[in-house]
Structure 1
Amino acid sequence: MTQQTQSARPEYNGLAEGGAVFAGVLMLVNGILHIFQGISAIALDDVYARINAYVYKIDLTGWGWILLVAGVIVVAAGIGVLMGAAWARLVGIVIISLGLILQFLFLPYAPLWSLITIALDFFIIWALATWHPEGRPVV
């Protein structure tokens, strides 16, 4: 009589694996939107409302370049996550964490959009942190 052995993979791995695929897609979309947001801030300095008294005041062109570069890195990491690359998981967690901080600093310029992006970033970080492609942590 044969016994079926249980997988060494955690029970939540199916959810985490599906979440990681969804996180990869969200990273692609989020990165592309960051790129568009950055381009619009670079092209027209008056696209977003001017904030007079803000502690972290940066010229909108500066914000545009920050968002553009972050968007390109997020898109690359999102493609890597969808391809199952081990490096993409760690890069994704780091860049999405930085992106979360950037969106917090961008709150006065686009409050609703920043809050939505922060919530999505939390989900992406969770999905990438709990997904272990081979049943064990890659890092």
Structure 2
Amino acid sequence: MTTKMTHGSTSARARGMVTSGWLTFAGTLALVVGTFNIIAGLVALLDDEYYLVGQNQILIFDFTTWGWFWLAVGIVQIAIGAGIMAGRMWARAAGVVFAVLAAIGHLAFLQAFPIWSVLTIALCVLLIYALTAPPAGSRAA
């Protein structure tokens, strides 16, 4: 009996790459959370009257500053989501950092938009788990 081997036909496991559905989920979730943050940023920048909170009821900044903050965080999170889907390890580490940053930011933004902030904090916690649960060498499926 002979075994026929084709050049370059090694499986992902043989090359040391393990695929993970969690990372695919995390990449998709990072894209969704990033989009949510971009929407929150644009709303804060374009419509000052949308959030029904007085000046003294939000932590530290005014809505224009929060708008720029959420816009920047959202854009970075979308880039991170694309990096996670491409299997980049830096994107996994940055994804955890920016998920924590977004969760803390939404905690500060809780008075302005409570239901949206609680939902986004929950998504950030789920994103952190999805990024940290798979093995170190795994890639998105």
The whole-number CA distance in structure 2 between the counterparts of 1:53 and 1:109 is 11
State the superposition RMSD in angstroms: 1.9
1:26 Cα deviation from its structure 2 partner: 1.0
1:132 Cα deviation from its structure 2 partner: 2.2
State TM-score, norm by structure 1. 0.80
More strand by share: 2
What's 1:58 paired with? Answer: 61
State TM-score, norm by structure 2. 0.79
Structure 1 segments of 4 or more deviating over 4 A? Answer: none
Between the two proteins, the alignment pairs up a number of residues equal to 122
**Cα deviation 1:32-88 (Å, max 9, x = unaligned):** 121121011111111111235436142111110000000001000001001111110
The whole-number CA distance in structure 2 between the counterparts of 1:55 and 1:121 is 21
- The higher radius of gyration belongs to 2
**Do 1:34 and 1:67's aligned partners in 2 also have CA atoms closer than 8 Å?**
yes
Q: Which ranges of structure 2 fall in alignment gaps of 5 or more residues?
A: 1-12
What's 1:77 paired with? Answer: 80
Change in CA separation of 1:55 and 1:72 when aligned onto 2, cut-off 3 Å: closer
